[in-house]
Amino acid sequence: MTSPLPSSLPASVLDLAPVVPVVVVTDAADAVPLARALVAGGLPAIEVTLRTPAALDAIRAIAAEVPAAVVGAGTVLSPEQVTDSVAAGARFLVSPGWTDVLLDAMRASGVPFLPGVSTTSEVVTLLERGVRDMKFFPAQAAGGTAYLKSLAGPLPLARFCPTGGIGLGSAPEYLALPNVGCVGGTWMLPDDALAAKDWGRVERLAREAAALRPSLKPRP
């Protein structure tokens, strides 16, 4: 996945941080302090899911007010969402799965994208189309680390951001795999901390997650 990210940043979203927080924003007013807390904790790549009416406003606010953040849109399901997300300031796109129509729209968007896969055939099809960076979802339910480990031999060019059911305890097992660039998760965003707007706690949990970064693995 090539990238128009600034030259000071890695070429792939998978290399920005060991953990990509998967954020569900219900109140756009929370977006900026939440993003600042995550960035301060060492997690600059932030996936804001398009699951709520506030999502696009949240992306727009983070893009405008938190320059150190690399904000992306998650749960992208349609070409319209691709267009709206990029217009709002999303610098990468993540989908739970993909179709030909959605893949074409993401590719044409000009920003990096992670199409979701959960089967070997999907991975092979994307590799045929020149896509090497993918989301593996739902990670735990789809086979977890054992499944990804089994893909590394026959499909060494594919790299993944596993998301779904991953926590602080299991994240290191994923990050140790040669075909995993980062993981997506929500454990640094506990519901009670968000409800209380306890951004200090979010920052502490983000810093703990950022410390999971393994030694740099060469890209195949």
CA-nearest of 41, 21, 36 to 190 is 21
Catalytic residue among 65, 80, 128, 135: 135
Contacts of 121 (CB under 8 A, 6+ apart): none
Q: Distance (Å, rounded) from C-alpha 179 to C-alpha 200?
A: 33
Q: Is 135 a catalytic residue?
A: yes
Contact between 88 and 107 (Cβ < 8 Å): no
Active-site entry in 47, 80, 197, 203: 47
47 assigned to active site: yes
Q: Sheet harboring 159-162: ordered strands across?
A: 116-117, 133-136, 159-162
- Residue in the block written with tokens 């189309």: 129
45-49 β-sheet, strand order? 113-114, 93-94, 70-74, 45-49, 19-23, 183-185
Cα–Cα distance, 56 to 51 (Å, whole number): 10
Q: Which residues pair with residue 71 across a beta bridge? A: 46
Catalytic residues: 47, 135
